Amino acid sequence: MCGIVGYIGKQKASAIILEGLKRLEYRGYDSAGVATLTGSRFDLAKKIGRVAGLIKSTSAQKMPGTTGIGHTRWATHGGVTDANAHPHISSDQKIALIHNGVIENYASIKKFLLTKGYTFQSETDTEVLGNLIAYHYQKEPATSEGSRFVESVRKTLRHVEGTYGIAVMCGDCPAEIVAARKGSPLILGVGDGEYMLASDVSAIISRTQNVVYLKDGEIVHITAKSFSISTLDSEDVSPVIDKVTWRIEDAELGTHAHFMEKEIFEQPAALENSMRGRFSEDGSTAQFGGLNISAVDFRQIDRFHFLACGSAWHACLVAEHLIERFARVPVEVDYASEFRYRNTPLSKNALFFTLSQSGETIDTLAAMREAKRKGYKVLAVNNVVGSSIAREADGGVYQHVGPEIGVASTKAFTSQLLLGAMLALYVGRMRDMSFNDGVDYVHALKGAPDLVRKTLELAPQLKGIAKRYAHYHDFLFLGRLSLFPVALEGALKLKEISYIHAEGYPAAEMKHGPIALISEQCPSVFLVPSGEMFNKVVSSMQEIKARKGKIIAIATEKCDLPAGLADEVILIPECHEAVLPIVATVPVQLLSYYIAVELNRDVDKPRNLAKSVTVE
């Protein structure tokens, strides 16, 4: 949610910032703005709607400054208006500020500032923060202006409660930016004679691959020639400069119509990257280099506890099925947003896993901290090196799928399914899975990318089905065992990008209530495996058909469906049960994508949604 971009250098800041904001559009936003410094004067432009509208408005303005900050806002405090868009200028015109996060005690601070003569033009908590910095700046002893500026920010942040990623400019310091973070990501880019700030590395990768990932409680003071990092307690911090390994081309559309389409078709390569180097030499098990837990300690674990949100939560449900099936270890899966507010009885020898593509999901981060507070080891599965969850976890696994720009997760989700299946293998081989079964399992996982490639060849068929079904307003997605979470994911994808109401259920639960929804106007998407569940799922399909419901069946090739039972049949490759959820996910992704395209939806930037949810 929200995006931050800042720039200090020799070039016109507004053009560089606007380019960065365009690259952050996928995070979700409803308004955008930019402010630059020319001498002691702030040049400001902000506007509701897309960054393209902001670019048009700034093109008519002269914004020659080489120091600036820009923002894309996802509304929390106050509605979607130009006045509520960032940046905000303090009422004394000294401070300009952009902010991601939520200031929880803003009301009491605002009340105090009103007594000191400060005025407010917006409904936001962010403007309160800017005026408080201005208040402390006015009170700060007149040492060097830069030091005075930094200390005013430091004193302000000691008084606020909540989360923030901020970038601040001061009219008295025309070539300086002060930035800080607590619970909201912030990255410093170190370029050639220039510095950049961003909430996401994709905003700055076109200008530099050298970055510093700021930690919670850190403040960075950037000038035209250098930067320094300190803590809220005024302790100096030695910066660690990391190198981003992916290229700007990885975050561009190429020949695809949308990033979601691109990322669906990138899944075979993404799966190969996720598993590369992670199988033993004898080909009988998985291996993970970053878990930081020995095999002996792993054997003592008597329960796994998974924490995640959204699509990652669905991936955890699949991991639960596979771990219990192949490793015989009990698994609990919690919504991260609920976990820390429950007084959950926990096993003494439990091990926690968090799943988050961005590594910045605020609910997952908070749940991880709660588990660690209770003395548990927490391992993480995420895709972003240097993210908050990656840094704070006791160990973990990077997904290595490259940047995922589309808001609706696709390649990150199937990578999480793969890594969950590999974890089930890893633990199973430590316990009672035989060598031969392990070899078969590894062989199946290694074949997953080619099976996904074969499934992607069904795209034209799914595009045709999407045209026939795009006008329906309700859908049901139904599956059993490890395909039930895939049904949940299919329903979520359709809701996210087409705005069609959809629900996912275990197929057998239909007769316990949801069957009341069945009509000719409510199609059902069935995920049909061969094997022991086949007849059970067919029975549920017959219940739907008897009530004149339309059926779209996604079935494996060995399924012998009764003639006429399904209105549409999509045949996917037969495969090992550890790989089946990955392969079955591809058709539901394509179906949702093509329905959204047919309805002319904004596929990569669906309304009200954000790629990374960084506010609670």
Residues 162-216: tens digit of each pLDDT: 889 999 999 998 899 999 998 888 999 998 889 999 988 888 888 888 999 998 8
Give the start-end residues of each E strand in 226-274. Answer: 227-231, 236-237, 242-243
- The confidence score (pLDDT) of residue 549 equals 86
Strands (DSSP E) contained in 218-277 are 218-223, 227-231, 236-237, 242-243
3.40.50.10490, 1.10.150.120, 3.30.110.30, 2.40.240.20: CATH of 254-446 = 3.40.50.10490
Q: At 366, which amino acid appears?
A: A
Regions in the chain scoring below 50 on pLDDT? none
- Here the tokens at position 124 are 């936001």
Per CATH, the homologous superfamily of domain 3-249 is Aminohydrolase, N-terminal nucleophile (Ntn) domain (3.60.20.10)
List residues bridging with 88 in a β-sheet.
Answer: 97
Instruction: Please report, for the chain, the start and end positions of each structural domain, with discontinuous segments joined by +.
Output: 3-249, 254-446, 455-602
Q: In the prediction, which pLDDT does 509 show?
A: 79
Mean pLDDT of the chain: 89
> Would you state the pLDDT for residue 596?
95
580-to-485, 533, 539, 559, 595 alpha-carbon distances in Å? 12, 13, 21, 14, 24
Cite the active site residues. 2, 611
Model-level pTM?
A: 0.79
Domain 455-602 superfamily per CATH = Glucose-6-phosphate isomerase like protein; domain 1 (3.40.50.10490)
Longest dimension (CA), the chain: 85
The confidence score (pLDDT) of residue 274 equals 92
| Same-fold call for 3-249 versus 455-602 | no
What was the pLDDT predicted at 479? 92
Nearest to 183, CA basis, from 159, 214, 206: 214
CB-neighbour burial class of residue 448 (10 A; exposed 0-12, middle 13-18, buried 19+): buried
Give every CB contact of residue 447 below 8 A, 6+ residues apart in sequence: 575, 579
